[in-house]
Amino acid sequence: MKVLLAGAGGQLGRELARLLPEQGHETVSLARADLDIADSRAVGRTIEQHTPDLVINAAAFTGVDAAETEAEAAYAVNALGPRNLAVACERAGCELLHVGTNYVFDGTGERPYEPFDPPNPLSGYGRTKLAGDEYVMRLCRRWYVVRTAGVYGEGGNFVRTMLRLAGERDEIRVKNDEFVSPTWARDLADGIIRIVEAGDYGLYHLTNSGSCSWYEFAREIMRLTGSEVRVTPISTSEFPLPAPRPPNGVLSGLGGPRLRPWRDALAEYLDREGEFRAGK
């Protein structure tokens, strides 16, 4: 399959740019400097030029708090970007896989969120991402929308922040009333490739399996790295942020591929990070 990948410089994008060719797919990997998805003409021209069978959109404005004040910029990337891709894919007769977020839900439900549970985003980031999902589902016929959560990989992420803080402080205070399924970008990329290879269009939720609070996630990072830093559970009200997050951010993978338990993925990621840090 010939795949055009937008957002190839991000955490998920880097893993896809590595895995797709490894798995035999001809891949055109475009980072932001190569293709700005908010530019509808550039999107149309690029898809016409490369004639892919499938476009994967791993690009997004992922600054959740910044999106509260930078509404135009967030909307341009998260809503109009996927719209531009959907229109161009429909014209070119190719498939589109777009990546979405658990922040489209308000997180007040008691169980993991299923793909067709009604969204109700709490934040500007969530609203712009939901607009992107909807554009894709309405403007092209052959779509996959894959929502994920709590992604870490090569880039700024919670795991790296916790490791940095553990080196700087005696105590780290982490929220214990907000839940997620931490997801390694490599496992997510692998699951996405399985979905497009199966060719079953539709709406998916894809995360590593199991779930935890951010506090439990931090505890596991420290356990696996042998850190003795004190991790203290706090409530969301003790750590206010500009954008509200869903308290229950756990997604149900109903009907889609299953990824391994989050603790196993985290252990392998940390092993590799250790090798990377040791310069191996």
Ligand X SMILES: NC(=O)c1ccc[n+]([C@@H]2O[C@H](COP(=O)([O-])OP(=O)(O)OC[C@H]3O[C@@H](n4cnc5c(N)ncnc54)[C@H](OP(=O)(O)O)[C@@H]3O)[C@@H](O)[C@H]2O)c1
Interface residue list for ligand X (CB under 6 A) = 6-7, 9-13, 32, 35-38, 58-62, 77, 81, 99, 101-102, 129, 148-151, 155
Burial environment of residue 44 by CB neighbours within 10 A (0 to 12, 13 to 18, 19 or more): middle
Q: How many residues does the chain have?
A: 280
List Cα–Cα distances, 84 to 78, 89, 109, 127, 192, in angstroms: 11, 9, 33, 18, 21
For ligand X, the closer CB: 87 or 99:
99
Other CB atoms within 10 Å distance of the CB of residue 236: 15
In Å, how far from its chain's centre is CA 261? 17
For ligand X, the closer CB: 136 or 139:
136
For ligand X, the closer CB: 39 or 177:
39
Stated as kind and residue range, the H or E segment containing 233 is strand 230-234
- The Cα 245–Cα 149 span in angstroms is 12
In Å, how far from its chain's centre is CA 33? 20
CB of 145 closer than 8 Å to CB of 206: no
Of all residues in the shown chain, the one whose CB is closest to ligand X is 10
For ligand X, the closer CB: 95 or 228:
95
Catalytic residue among 125, 135, 152, 269: 125
State in angstroms the smallest separation of the CB of 245 from ligand X: 11
Please indicate whether residue 113 is annotated as part of the active site: no
Q: Which residues are catalytic?
A: 125
